[in-house]
Structure 1
Amino acid sequence: MALEVLTTDDLREFKIELLEDIQKLLKKNTNSPEKRWLKSYEVRELLNISPGTLQHMRVSGILPFTKIGGTIYYDHGEINELLQKNKQSY
């Protein structure tokens, strides 16, 4: 039975590869949202807008929403469509 010796360089290389794999997985998960329905605070953070601007977008019909009880939900897909529709190229 042959013995294989691990050096500190081997461990360091393994650590670097492992960290790179973890970073790829994290990046992959942050690009595709898991949640379909977002609450108001999440939409405000996503679009970097104020509560008043979000309310204006709701009232004027720019951004569709669903209200259940006192909580307002927004479809992530509709937000993406809105962004694509209003995309500007200079």
Structure 2
Amino acid sequence: MSNSFVLIEEKTVNELFNEIKNLNQKIDSELKTKVGGLSEKWLDNQDVMLELKISQRTLQNMRHTKMLPYSKVGGKVYYKSTDVERLLSENYTNRGRSG
């Protein structure tokens, strides 16, 4: 078995490393996109009722009127934490300030 050497210009090596770096960034971005939905925090009925200080009936009504999106698995209901935060933000009013 013989050893052979190949000379590559520094510019070419740098271009290859940059291309590898770009590919790694694209892969990382794709992985985050695909896993992002699962990495988000999901809340059950009890969590949402405690956070919003509402009753089970009020929460059921929010589902029924499509005010709060949900997912149902095996009879148990789950909510994305971002949907709960969005609901709060969309209904935020600053009543304490006078203009």
TM range (shorter): 0.5 to 0.7
The alignment's TM-score, normalised by the length of structure 2, stands at 0.55
Aligned-residue identity in percent: 37
Give the structure 1 partner of residue 91 of structure 2: 86
Q: Residue 89 of structure 1: CA displacement?
A: 1.1
| Selected match of 2:80 from 72, 75, 78 | 75
The count of corresponding residues between Structure 1 and Structure 2 is: 57
CA contact (8 A) 2:40 2:80 kept: no
CA contact (8 A) 2:69 2:83 kept: yes
Larger Rg: 2
Q: Could you tell me how far apart the structure 2 residues matched to 1:68 and 1:60 are?
A: 20
Q: Does 1:64 align with 2:69?
A: yes
Structural RMSD (CA): 1.5
Deviations 1:36-89 (A, max 9, x none): 100001100000000000000000000000001111000000100110010001
Give the gaps of 5 or more residues in structure 2: 1-38
- Runs of 4+ with deviation above 6 angstroms: none
Q: Residue 35 of structure 1: CA displacement?
A: 6.6
The alignment's TM-score, normalised by the length of structure 1, stands at 0.60
| Selected match of 1:53 from 19, 40, 58 | 58
| Selected match of 1:39 from 37, 44, 52 | 44
